[in-house]
Amino acid sequence: MRFPTRFLWGAGTSSYQIEGAAAGRGESIWDTFCAVDGNVLGGDDGRIACDHYNRYTDDVRLMSELGLGAYRFSVSWPRVMPDGKRLAPEGLDFYSRLVDELLARGIEPLPTLFHWDLPQALEDEGGWRSRDTAERFAEYAVVVHDALGDRIRQWTTINEPFCSAFLGYGSGVHAPGVREPGTALVAAHHHLLAHGRAVTALRAQARPDQVFALALNFAPALADGGSPAHLEAVRKWNAIHNRFFLDPVLGRGYAEDVLADVAHLDALEPAIKDGDLEVIGAKIDWLGVNFYAPTRVTPIDDPAQPSNAPLPGLRGMNVLPARGPLTAFGWEQTPSSLTDLLQWLHSYCDGLPLVVAENGASFEDKVSPDGHVHDTQRTAYFASHIRAVHDAIESGVDVLGYVAWSLLDNFEWSMGYSQRFGLIHVDFDSLRRTVKDSARFYSEVISRNAVPAG
């Protein structure tokens, strides 16, 4: 099952999850969140993580040995601007050195400007509740682009604003731990405004060959029945999870059904100011598609009853337990949902090019006595999902690349170090790296630009 010529194969990480070296940056909301008992499994934090900041040359060497064509990483806003506003040149220099190392190894840098680690100083001033944060983000984006734009072609503004806004300000299971559904909608709007302002500012100074993107996480709804009530449950989930961010970015504004679903919170529409939707709809060159699993939904009898879904304002539907086989995170493995998602996006986004910007699975990996990590379940997950991408391409979907999540076992947010997603095993005591069997499988896929048929 061969892939198109120049198909981009990569792996991804994020700054707070791997870098460590906390003394060399400003405080982030995740530092504050992790310091509160009960917020993170095991009471862990990302202050050391994988110590990638000090070990990046060895990590880039491993990327090269695996044959990666691209490395998707995020820039730490509090490392570049400890207070969210003023530049720390030594922080920016780390990313300059990382980019040079990647290019020297023939690996394309794919930076993401924000992957959830907001400077705590900005949170103290309102965080994503405040429109001012969108302005600060655009200024930060310009500073990073000024320093690295001579060497980087492809830029992503924000990764998964769904998680940062809805889980951070709605359900409170992510930093900053706020549990206010209305506030989550305001924060989501300001994330989108930040994206639009950044794209506009960066295009004003970009080279003609530079491209700009946004990465959204999608979880297509699967119903346990076909009644009108079940179809309405599917619509509600897809509206808030899968279309809330997508529609405005495509220049369509917030859909009427989305506005109706959250109208009782009286939060989103008052946050939208004149000109916002035009800014948010700034042209992107490709859409990052993050996919891990579908979500099973069902209607509930009382339409006014709050949903158990981690989404602001939803009523009249619940999320069902996933069906096996499951990952260690409890996520369902249904690769056909990835094919369906890519086909739907191709149609819904009028042929906008897509990049699978995150896809992967956690399993309980251990280094065997022979010194290897025989993660057969992850290998099977990657094989089936890469085939699903191939199926989408064969049906006419314009998919430019695939980025495996993640390069390294890392700090997995509120789950601490309990979940291992990496192609490379990290011993969190010694920080020793061990290449897993799944990484060797992925390396073979890359070298052949093809995946074995299932």
Evaluate whether 244 touches 314 at the Cβ level (below 8 Å).
no
CA distance 292 to 108: 24
The helix or strand, by DSSP H or E, that contains position 33, with its residue range, turns out to be helix 29-34
Give me the residues paired with residue 299 across strands. Answer: 317
Helix spans in 357-417 (H): 376-394
Beta strands, E only, 209-250: 211-218, 221-223
Query: Catalytic site residue 358?
Result: yes
CA distance 59 to 102: 10
Token pair for 247: 């529609």
Token pair for 24: 């060399």
Query: Catalytic site residue 232?
Result: no
End-to-end CA distance of the chain: 9
Amino acid letter, residue 407: L
Catalytic residue among 27, 160, 332, 412: 160
Catalytic residue among 358, 364, 394, 412: 358
- Secondary structure class of 315 (helix, strand, coil): strand
Query: Burial level of 330, CB count in 10 A (0-12/13-18/19+)?
Result: exposed
Amino acid letter, residue 340: D
CA-to-CA dists, residue 332 to 31, 32, 328, 357, angstroms: 30, 32, 10, 19
Evaluate whether 41 touches 416 at the Cβ level (below 8 Å).
yes
Q: Which residues belong to the active site? A: 160, 358
